[in-house]
Amino acid sequence: VEKFKGIFPAFYACYDEEGNISESRTKQFANYLVSKGIQGLYVGGSSGECIYQNLEERKLTLRYVAEAVGHQITLIAHVGAPSTRDSIELAKYAEQLGYDALSAIPPIYFVLPEDSIYHYWTDILESTNLPFIIYNIPQTTGYNLSIQLLNRMLQHGKVIGVKNSSMPVMDIERFKTASSNNLILFNGPDEQFVAGRLMGADSGIGGTYAVMVELFLKANEFISSGDIARAQQIQSDINSIIIALCSLNGSMYSAIKEVLKKNNMDIGSVRKPLQPVTGEDLQKIDEIKAMIDQ
Ligand code: NAY
């Protein structure tokens, strides 16, 4: 359980200049994050642009990250995909590669009944021996995890956690309580990291961590040591940065990748339909980098 506690950046898609998955950039970026002192990585999730990649590409990223970092940190593979068949293929592959846990969003596109979500997650978790972390992200999937389905899932001993990206921090407390405090809760919304931790989240998985990982590591330490005022101050700095990252033309992930480029960490651009940051907005990247470096 201890290995799932801490700061887990959501790993970004690393492309070459042609927009293909880049082995060298993926490995370099994974090593860079490990050197910062993170607890683990969440590979192939929303921030990994999984929704825009085919199965082979997703496997490449899973493999390159595992090859680069080995067992130095905890690796969670996100295997949510449009079909159960593809999710199972990714799950088995992640297990072979030595990943520590699997995670998946509920089925997407068709609005399926809860029973189908139960079977989707169950089929994935029965396909390997790995523990499973439910990914609750209602703002993109349209489904908010209910206590009923959580209880049903908990009957599988393999469900060890929930990554909760819903906005009410109360959900973190409710899920934790429903499991008699046995589940590991991961805070999803980076803007509420401190609040999520105070409501019972043990850890955080976030899409903006990797561009300002020191801030999240520090906030996490301050919470652990009970220095709430300083944790709040860092959260406030983080939120100003997130708002700036989201204020440019182009996607937040493109803005993040431009900042990383300025830090000599070139992981390429984003895949369409995500739009790159262009024109005058590119000049604002320096200001955002300065906010982060402060
Ligand atoms: C993942 O799977 O990549 C994540 O964990 C990303 C979770 C993110 N939520 C969404 C809706 O993308 O980290 C958040 C988000 O990037 C952050 O709060 C900034 O809004």
From the CB of 188, is ligand 1 less than 6 Å away?
Answer: yes
| 208 ligand 1 Cβ < 6 A | yes
List residues bridging with 8 in a β-sheet.
205
Q: How far is the CA of 165 from the centre of ligand 1 (A)?
A: 7
191 lines ligand 1 (CB under 6 A): yes
Question: At 17, which amino acid appears?
Answer: E
- Tell me, using a 6 A CB cutoff, whether residue 235 lines ligand 1: no
Catalytic residue numbers, as ranges: 135, 163
Query: For the chain, what percent of residues have pLDDT higher than 70?
Result: 100
CA dihedral (12, 202, 185, 244) in degrees, to 10, reads -40
Residue 1 pLDDT > 90, yes or no? Answer: no
Cβ within 8 Å of residue 284, ≥6 positions away: 244, 247, 248
Question: Which atom of ligand 1 is found nearest the CA of 206?
Answer: 13
- The residue count for the chain: 294
What does the pLDDT look like over 10-40, one tens digit per residue? 999 999 999 999 999 999 999 999 999 999 9
Mean pLDDT of 45-62: 98
pLDDT digits (tens, 9 = 90+) for 98-140: 999 999 999 999 999 999 999 999 999 999 999 999 999 999 9
Share of the chain above pLDDT 90, in %: 99
Over residues 170-210, the pLDDT tens digits come to: 999 999 999 999 999 999 999 999 999 999 999 999 999 99
Q: Which atom from ligand 1 is nearest to the alpha carbon of 78?
A: 2
The answer to whether 74 and 238 are in contact (CB under 8 A) is: no
Q: Which residues contact 152 (CB under 8 A, 6 or more apart)?
A: 118
Q: Which pLDDT belongs to residue 144? A: 97
pLDDT at position 32 is 98
**Cα 189 to ligand 1 centroid, rounded to whole Å:** 6
Ligand 1 pocket, residue 49 CB under 6 Å: no
Cα of 47 from ligand 1 centre, angstroms: 7
The verdict on the CB of residue 242 being under 6 Å from ligand 1 is yes
DSSP string, the chain: -GGG-SEEEBPPP-B-TTSSBPHHHHHHHHHHHHHTT-SEEEESSGGGTGGGS-HHHHHHHHHHHHHHHTTSSEEEEE---SSHHHHHHHHHHHHHHT-SEEEEPPP-SS---HHHHHHHHHHHHHTSSS-EEEEE-HHHHS----HHHHHHHHTSTTEEEEEE--S-THHHHHHHHHTTT-SEEEE--GGGHHHHHHTT--EEEESSGGGSHHHHHHHHHHHHTT-HHHHHHHHHHHHHHHHHHTSSSS-HHHHHHHHHHHTT-----PPTTSPPP-THHHHHHHHHHHHHH-
Provide the ipTM: 0.92
Tokens representing residue 42 in the block: 């969440």
Give me 143's structure tokens. Answer: 């489904």
| Radius of gyration (C-alpha) of the chain in whole angstroms | 18
- How far, in Å, CA of 256 to CA of 236, rounded? 18
Contact status, residue 31 vs residue 65, Cβ threshold 8 Å: no
What is the assigned CATH class of domain 2-212?
alpha beta
Ligand 1 atom closest to the CA of 11, numbered from 1: 3
